[in-house]
Structure formats: structure tokens, C-alpha cells
Structure 1
Amino acid sequence: MATENKTAAIEHRAYARVGLLGNPSDVYNGRTISFSLGNFWASVKLEPSDNLLIVPHPAHDLVQFDSLSHLVTRLQSDGYYGGVRLLIAICKIFSNYCKDNGITLHDGNFTMSYDTNIPRQTGLSGSSAIVCAALSCLLDFYKVRHLIKVGVRPNLILNAEKELGIVAGLQDRVAQVYGGLVYMDFNKKHMEDLGYGEYTPMDVDLLPPLYLIYAENPSDSGKVHSTVRQRWLNGDKFIISSLEEVANVALEGRTALIEKDHAKLATLMNHNFDLRRQMFGDEVLGAMNIEMVEIARRIGAASKFTGSGGAVIVFCPQGPSQAKLLEDACKTAGFLFQLVKVMPSFLTEVDLGTMSTR
């Protein structure tokens, strides 16, 4: 009966994520360690309604401008991208997945809206956070959370983004679906057999205090297109061996975290960035992004990108006094600096129940 679907509003958050070790090997059958970043999030609200409505955000889906030059300036800084297209894409991917897998959905309609405070173009996975929060709302609205495995959900999020031409890997979406600290192995056999990787939650208390550096206006940094993917497909030995080494950074990092070997963790973080820099080159990485890494290194801290650039994750092995030096240096350089808040796992009993079934 239609009245059964007139439930209360559903609201979910999905948080930004930090690729701690191993990125970008997730798109090359590698391994990564990532965690959910509590400093920033996207939220999606779903309310039952007579018609299905996707609500534009007043700031992020701007359609009214002061002038033609305002429109052009806005497009140059933010592109054509708002969140409405992301919400529409996940609705389509979710519906198709349910249809293909014999999952029946009731015929109730809804109004979906979103908000986000994740800084743009900082490599903190702002787009996928919106999609992830929307998927959580759909799972609960249609009461099918128990029918769609946790391991499959990052694929649905990624497929919604691929639908829009966004090029990305599974790592970010896994961190956002699972929450907490997650070790991920994207080995080819597992990916081919199940369609997703091996995802192992870790205790967030294994992490030492970490810091985030990001730029308020990162849009002028790292615009050159990378050739790494094509070189990997072409069998370039340097790229293949470098990416294997990046994947091993995550493997060694898992042991370092478990053993609380923070000196090793610092070495691995720096090595991860150095490998990326050798593969991609400074033009691709962008001068501003490199400076964010270097500003931490100059005071003896370990640093690397959180994703593909725009923000940097930092470990200060010498503790709070070193972090204060870094904060002052960031302020002088015009970068924003924050202590990282790590979110615990988001998985419910229902979610965990889907992990034990094949």
C-alpha cells in the first residue's frame, strides 16, 4: 500500500576521505590504506513526496547569475559541475542494479536534496561523498540495505560517477562506505572473481595524530594531463614496477601501524609521495601541491597527497611542538591547516550481515 511508504525524512552523511598509503595503486590492482575524515562531509536528505524531485543546491547548482561575466567567471572557477547530476546518476545506477539483481522496489516517490562542506578540488572525494550519502538514503527508503552487499556499494558509487565521465578508483568509495580505517587489496583475482577487492577494517586507534594541509584556491595547480595510465597499459616497466612499489608501501604500512612503528610510517608516507612524483612529474602534480608537501618536509614532518592533489596529509613524529611549527609555516604560506579527525566505522549490524554472504 502506498501509505506504508510515507515514512519520515531520511538523512545520511558521508565524510571526506584520506588516502594514507598506497594511492594511486588502487586503480592498478594494488593496495591502499585509507580513512574517513571527520573534518568535512556531505549530507543528503530524502523525504517521501508525490513526485520524484531532485533539488538543486542554492550555491553549488547555481542557475541565476548577476551578469554574463559572473556566469563565465563561475564556470572558470567551478566548472559546470553541481551535485544534482550526481544524485540523478546514483538513482539510475541503483535502480538498474536492483532490476538486474531481482530486487523489487516499492513505487513511492521522494524529494532529494544535499549539502556539503568538503572543499572543492582538494582531492578529498567531495563528489563521491554526495553519491555515497544518497545511496545510503536510497537503501533505507526502499528498505533494501540487507539485500545489497557492503562490498558492492563502492562499485555502485563509482559507476554513478563514471556515468558522468568522472575518472576515479574504488579506494575513496570504500573508505566512505565503510568508515574508519580500511586496508584494501585490489588484487586481480579477487576483482575478477567477486567484482570488488578485499577490504579489511582496522582499528582507528592505530593511527597517530595526523594533520591536514590544503589550499583555499587550488584550481590553478596541476592542470597537465597525466600519461601514467596509458604507459601502464602499454607495459612500461618503470611505471609497472613503481606502482608495485606503491602497493607494497600500503602492505608495509599495515604492519607499521599494527606494530605502532611510527618512524617506519613516516618513511613510507614520504616514499609514497616520492614514487608518485617520479611517475607523474612536477608539471602534472602542480607547483602549489608540491609546495604543500615540501612545507611539511622542511620541518622534518612526513607528508603526501590525500588523493591526487589539492590537500596533503602530514605526520609530525616529534609531536605537538613540530605541529605548531608547521601551523605557523602554513599560515605564512597562505595554506589552511587542521588537526585530522578520524571517523569510526559506519557499518551497522545489517551491513555486517551482508559481508558474510556470498
Structure 2
Amino acid sequence: MSAPAAPPLLLSDSQRATLEQLSRSQTAAHRQVQRARVLLLAADGVANTRISAEVGVTPVTVRAWRARFEEEGLAKLGQVRQGRGRKASISEEQVKAIVHDTLHTKPAGQTHWSCRTMAKHAGVSSATVQRIWHDLGIKPHRVDTFKVSNDSRFEEKLTDVVGLYLNPPAKAVVLCLDEKSQIQALDRTQASLPMIKGRGATMTHDYKRNGTTTLFAALNVLTGEVTGRCFDRHRHEEFLKFLKVIDAEVPTGQAIHVILDNYSTHKHADVQRWLTRHKRFHLHFIPTSSSWLNQVERWFRDLDVKAIRRGSFNSVPDLIAAIEDYLQANNEDPTPFVWTATAESILAKVTRARRKLTEVVNQ
């Protein structure tokens, strides 16, 4: 019969705040960070064996740290009892040096440290470096991309578009419109092998180009249905043809609010003249460098992953047929994307990003 699970550790609000700050620290002693993580998990009711596996210490250590906290609280969190436990094979000074060099230096001729290059630099094993990086959440091999919009009307455009998502107007349809240009009809140079038990499907890494097409697509924000047409090019002439398709499909009497980017085609003089004769169309432009704000971009990603990337197309008509099949399947069982972020929360995040960029530039 297994032993009963230990009860959750009782923490005050101030103790939890202190431990959460310590668990994210990149300058505190490695052992202190581990202990803070153990105590937080224990307070959440996680079993000792799971805690030991997640933090990288033994269950005996977990039980000992729990007992010590219940006895002494946080008063002696940073102190190590003499003569207890396995002696550290690396000093706290070495850990601090590894962390400092990882964050503030680069190896000669390279853009970032790896476990092996840092291990050679610091005179320790690569496993030691990996453990320190893992425990402190340091990931030199990863780079997250971003782009902060410099649009002078960013707040105005953002508020307008998010307002349509969160509070769409009555007796109107809201469409996210964009074009996915230069979709390539790629054919593999050799036949692909199907998936079998014990082995995934295979395809050659090289391919033959058989032409391209451009997909114009408009995602209905409320229903998730998509109207799409493929054209050879993506000029204002094709854009106008697609607007006429939308005009024919949307019932008379409904206003049409179209969310789209700042591509010059969307603002062409011929387009403007057509819009003056079709008063129910209202264009809403997203801020520059903010494609993430247009929901149809998310649908384009699904199209690419599910229907195009692993396909093999002998011709452009084959590619268009595959796109149309995906459109039909989507519209038979549409699922709208649910937008939850408010304009205020996005603006706060962008403000923090701009402030951080300014600090880096001024350093």
C-alpha cells in the first residue's frame, strides 16, 4: 500500500510572493532557486515524487526542505546546514560566472553559447551547464521574433479593429481580408513513401516548381466561413474582382466591414471610386507591421500546414483544386477564431516593448 500524499504546504501571500520572485531569479544561488521552486510546487499540492522529477532533486531532499520550511519558515532559506547532503561539485561563484557569461558575452566567432562551448569555456561538464540553464530558464538557442509597429495612428487603428472583434455592429458582417500571394505548385522529384507502422511518411527534400497562384480570402469573423478566389496576380484589378464576389455573396441590406492591411492595392484610386458607389462597404486598416491583428492570417497558416506544405502538385490547376477542397471542407464545418485580447491590454504590452527597446538603444 502506497504512503498517503503529503498535504499542501501552507504559504502566506508574502511568502508566496518572495518564493515566486526567487524562483525566477537569474542571480540568486542555484540551490536557492531550486528550493523556491520545490516549496511553490509543494504549496500547490504537487506530490513529492513529481516535484523531485521536475526540479531535479531527490524525493528525500524535497521532504527535507518541506520540513525545514515548516520549522523555520523563510528566515534561513539561503543558509545551508553544515555536514548535510551531498557536497556541491561546482561552487556558487562558478554558477554565477556561467550565468553572467551566458547572458553578457558570446563565444569567439559565434552568435550564442551552446552547452558544449560554455562547458569548455567554464571548465565544467556540458551536463552541468545544461542543468543550470534549465533550472534558471536560460535558453541561448532560442530567439523569439517580434516587430513593434511605428504607425503614427497605431492606437486609433488598433482600437477600431479590436472593437469590431469584441463588439461587432448589428445588421453587418465583419470580414478579415488578405491575399496569400506566390503560393507555389511544387512537385517532388521522386515518389513519396506512405506512412507505415514504425515509420512516418517520407518525401524528397527537392522539388520542381510548376507555377504559382494568389489566393484572395475573406474570413467571416462571426461564423468562421471563408470566401476565397485564386487569381494569377494580385493587383488592384484582382482586388476589385474579389470585392465584387463579396458584394454578390453578402445579402442585400447588410453592411460589410472589411479588415485589411495597408497594401497599396487596397487604396488604389479605382478601388476608392468603386467604394464610393457601394456605400455598404467600410474598410478598416490595421496598423503597419501588425499582420497578427488580421485573423485571416491565422487561417492562412492552417491552410498551409494542412493542405499545401506536404502536398505535391503537377500544375497550378492541381494546386487551386487543393485550395478549393480545403475551402469547401472549412465551410462545411466552420469554426470561428475567438478574440479575447482588449485594446487596452495590447496597448500596455506595446508600450512596455517600446520602453524596453528605448532602454536598449540608449545603453
TM-score by length of 1: 0.19
Larger radius of gyration: 2
What TM-score do the two structures reach when normalised by structure 2?
A: 0.19
Q: Specify which structure has the bigger relative contact order, considering alpha-carbon pairs within 8 angstroms and separated by 6 or more residues.
A: 1
